[in-house]
Structure 1
Amino acid sequence: MSTKIINAAICSFGLSGRVFHAPFLHYHPGFRFYAVWERSAKKAQEIYSDVLSYNTYEAMLADETIELVVVNTPNYTHYEYTLKALEAGKHVLVEKPFTTTVEEAEHLVKLAGEKQLKLAVYHNRRYDSDYKTVRKVLEEGLLGNIAEAEIHFDRFTETLSVKAHKETPGPGTGNVYDLGSHIIDQALQLFGWPDAVYADISKIRSISRVDDYFEIILYYPASRVRLHSSMVCKVPLPGYTLQGSKGTFIKPKTNLQEEALQEGKIPVGDHWGVEPEKDWGTITYLQNDTWVQEKLPSLQGNYMALFSGLHQYITTGEPVTVTGEDGLKVIKIIEAAYKSSNSGTKIKLK
């Protein structure tokens, strides 16, 4: 049985389109990187000679052969461009953050359902080696009941991004919407919906115009999950720390796939997304009344699995990828986190 080929179009061929989307749409057997919206510079055809380049979004959406649109434009445009794509009858994969408000996210989810279209969010960090390994540790129950967990996504940079839209105050800007979207999504996948949120969100570099630091605490009946990100971490803390009744797991944060993609490497092959032993996590757990400490081999990461899940979602309706509903939950946590930080109070969730 042959694989259905889905014609896909990308809204931008900047870093996101060139590194995170085009290679996967090109090499995945279920997709064809068919078109791109390029307002000025025409660069996509230098790499993908068969791709069509449209001068306007409207012209691209009018192409009836396009089934999937990837919205990878600045955050504040996600709602508008996703809305237009859905209204044009296209399935949509939208970059994180899904939208800038809960109201926008709810509207898009509702519209996609009404039109029987598939709406997915590009939370690619679910397919990182480190996150997949942490998930396995929890599923196998090696640590017993989890009392505390920390997820860090830290960086060190003394300069602002060259992308002005990321550093200019406005809807959807700041580190909570940027890196926070990733680890909030991971926390919700690992631990479920929390009872309450408390957050401290701030600008800690003198050059920053948008928030570059946050600490978010998710409250669960018998545990706490802390999410942290800062742009002033020259030597970052572990990406993941799990403390349970039967042990501890500590895992460094890695970024193998993004680094490889930026080097122009092709995202296929048995060695893609495989962490070296030096990046494996350390697990300390109780085994037959004896404490054991050992390195735990990491699972293989693979962003291609996101596109495989998306293809299955579109062709079978089975939601095996990051759905619009998942993206909506992340935005609900983000809104609650800002409300908490601004008021200095813990926000209860429904």
Structure 2
Amino acid sequence: MSEQIRVGVVGFGLAGRIFHTAVIDATPGFKLQGIVKPTGDEAKAAYPGVPCYRTIEEMFADTSIRLVVVATPSHTHFEIAQRCLREQRHVIIDKPFTLTSLEASTLIDMARERNLLLSAYQNRRWDGDFKTVQQIVAGEELGRLVNYRSHFDRFRPEPRRGTWREGGGPGSGILFDLGAHLVDQATTLFGTPSLIDASIRIQRDEGQADDAFDIRLTYQQHHCLEVHLSASTLARIPGPRFHLNGTRGSFVKFGLDPQEDQLKSGLRFDAPGFGEDTESAWGTLQILDEAPRRIATERGDYRAYYENVRDALTGKALLAVTPVQAWRTTRLIELARRSSAERRTIAVDLHGQPE
């Protein structure tokens, strides 16, 4: 067996604990070699055999660590990633990749100069519902797609005080949090849109960070396909997660991918039923005058992201989530914020996109 890739994870909050260390630990070919957590002993308790550090400099002293995962508050991603690249480490950055496209370009240039891997953690490409939607779009059973709606609804009427995500500072808010996933999924399916129109809002009483958004992407190259992306924290009865309309029919899917809740509950990837949707949550497809039929949801598996990174580092595969794709998502979020602030539809301008 080839030597394992040793990984250090910076941050042990929700992202580091649930979406990274648990997934890395379950993916063959990786060895969790270090965790940076400035305070508390949660990391040491969860992984007693893994060195835990208070500072990133302490972790850098272990030169066997080849890959560093940045799972810290969003506004720190750029600075920490720069430090990792300067130390000649491959880097994965949890979403959002960076807060600006200029920061993203800077990191891409640094990684290329040093021949290092750089990627954004877009694990929701491996949600079972999105994998199902990908198959439906690719199969063209709906005919020419005219409308794609992707919603991420929650009900959290009270802002979580004292958290960086809802504090109103740089990198906070639902657009950077969930919008990064929805934009990435849309561009994975359809590429770069022609036009963008957005409304980004604070809807909750005493809210400090944006907690709702609606984004419309128009694809003139696809017969003016319209893509609607939205998220809300005040949806007591959630709408469909996906709703697609085409010239021959429609597909609708309710419910969220189960992996996040399963990981939070401590369920392992090898447990029976992990990543599998309940039959009651399967989507419904109806074509022309045919009877509606239920479509089994593909099994989701976040390990696929890290499996691809492993294979890219060992020369067996191309990187699935490229830094240029991460730059594009960052740029579209910038344009969405501008559209909302100026209250107008704007043409998508990818000026400055790295080659």
TM-score tier after normalising by the smaller chain length: over 0.9
Once the two structures are TM-superposed, the CA of residue 114 in structure 1 deviates from its matched residue by: 1.3
Taking the aligned partners of 2:318 and 2:72, their CA distance within structure 1 comes to 24
Quote the residue 2:248 is aligned against.
Answer: 246
User: Following superposition of structure 1 onto structure 2, how do residues 219-298 of structure 1 map, counting pairs within 5 Å?
Assistant: 219-221=218-220, 222=223, 223-269=225-271, 271-286=273-288, 290-298=289-297
Q: Which runs of 4+ in 1 moved over 4 A?
A: none
User: Which stretch of the first structure deviates more once superposed, 74-83 or 27-36?
Assistant: 27-36
Taking the aligned partners of 1:198 and 1:317, their CA distance within structure 2 comes to 40
1:286-323 Cα shifts (integer Å, max 9, x gaps): 4xxx5231000110000011110111121117334322
Quote the residue 2:132 is aligned against.
Answer: 133
Letter in 2 for 1:13: F
Quote the residue 1:165 is aligned against.
Answer: 164
Letter in 1 for 2:281: D
Once the two structures are TM-superposed, the CA of residue 163 in structure 1 deviates from its matched residue by: 5.1
Contact 1:130–1:252 (Cα < 8 Å) also in 2: no
Contact 1:284–1:294 (Cα < 8 Å) also in 2: yes
1:29-79 Cα shifts (integer Å, max 9, x gaps): 210011011212122232222101112111212321100101000000000
Quote the residue 1:218 is aligned against.
Answer: 217
Contact 2:196–2:345 (Cα < 8 Å) also in 1: yes
Contact 2:257–2:275 (Cα < 8 Å) also in 1: no
Taking the aligned partners of 2:183 and 2:160, their CA distance within structure 1 comes to 22
User: Which stretch of the first structure deviates more once superposed, 266-275 or 214-223?
Assistant: 266-275
Letter in 2 for 1:37: V
User: Following superposition of structure 1 onto structure 2, how do residues 145-156 of structure 1 map, counting pairs within 5 Å?
Assistant: 145-156=144-155
Once the two structures are TM-superposed, the CA of residue 180 in structure 1 deviates from its matched residue by: 0.6
SS of the residue 1:266 aligns to:
coil
RMSD after superposition: 1.3
Contact 2:159–2:204 (Cα < 8 Å) also in 1: no
Quote the residue 2:37 is aligned against.
Answer: 38
Q: Aligned in 2, Cα 1:280/1:121: closer, same or farther, shift over 3 Å? A: same
Contact 2:257–2:277 (Cα < 8 Å) also in 1: no
Please say if 1:12 is aligned against 2:14. no
Once the two structures are TM-superposed, the CA of residue 162 in structure 1 deviates from its matched residue by: 4.9
Output the TM-score relative to the length of structure 1: 0.96
Q: Which runs of 5+ in 2 are unaligned?
A: 350-355
SS of the residue 1:83 aligns to:
helix
Letter in 1 for 2:231: S
Once the two structures are TM-superposed, the CA of residue 216 in structure 1 deviates from its matched residue by: 0.3
Identity of aligned residues (%): 34
Q: Which runs of 5+ in 1 are unaligned?
A: none
User: Following superposition of structure 1 onto structure 2, how do residues 156-195 of structure 1 map, counting pairs within 5 Å?
Assistant: 156-162=155-161, 164-195=163-194
Taking the aligned partners of 1:48 and 1:96, their CA distance within structure 2 comes to 24
Taking the aligned partners of 2:214 and 2:255, their CA distance within structure 1 comes to 17
Taking the aligned partners of 2:185 and 2:255, their CA distance within structure 1 comes to 13
Please say if 1:112 is aligned against 2:139. no
Once the two structures are TM-superposed, the CA of residue 166 in structure 1 deviates from its matched residue by: 1.1
Quote the residue 1:349 is aligned against.
Answer: 348
Please say if 1:23 is aligned against 2:25. no
Letter in 2 for 1:14: G
Letter in 2 for 1:343: E
Output the TM-score relative to the length of structure 2: 0.94
1:54-106 Cα shifts (integer Å, max 9, x gaps): 12111212321100101000000000001110110001111000000010011
Quote the residue 2:196 is aligned against.
Answer: 197
SS of the residue 1:224 aligns to:
strand
Taking the aligned partners of 2:168 and 2:155, their CA distance within structure 1 comes to 21
SS of the residue 1:103 aligns to:
helix
Once the two structures are TM-superposed, the CA of residue 231 in structure 1 deviates from its matched residue by: 0.7
Letter in 2 for 1:284: Q
User: Following superposition of structure 1 onto structure 2, how do residues 44-55 of structure 1 map, counting pairs within 5 Å?
Assistant: 44-55=43-54
1:157-193 Cα shifts (integer Å, max 9, x gaps): 0222255211222221111111111111111111111
Letter in 2 for 1:246: R
Quote the residue 1:67 is aligned against.
Answer: 66
Quote the residue 2:352 is aligned against.
Answer: none
Taking the aligned partners of 2:316 and 2:198, their CA distance within structure 1 comes to 36
Once the two structures are TM-superposed, the CA of residue 22 in structure 1 deviates from its matched residue by: 1.1
Letter in 1 for 2:121: Y
Taking the aligned partners of 1:40 and 1:220, their CA distance within structure 2 comes to 47
Taking the aligned partners of 1:269 and 1:113, their CA distance within structure 2 comes to 39
Taking the aligned partners of 1:254 and 1:160, their CA distance within structure 2 comes to 21
Letter in 2 for 1:274: E
Once the two structures are TM-superposed, the CA of residue 265 in structure 1 deviates from its matched residue by: 1.0
Q: Aligned in 2, Cα 1:159/1:3: closer, same or farther, shift over 3 Å? A: farther
Give the number of equivalent residue pairs.
346
Contact 1:23–1:267 (Cα < 8 Å) also in 2: no
Please say if 1:97 is aligned against 2:96. yes
Contact 1:3–1:29 (Cα < 8 Å) also in 2: no
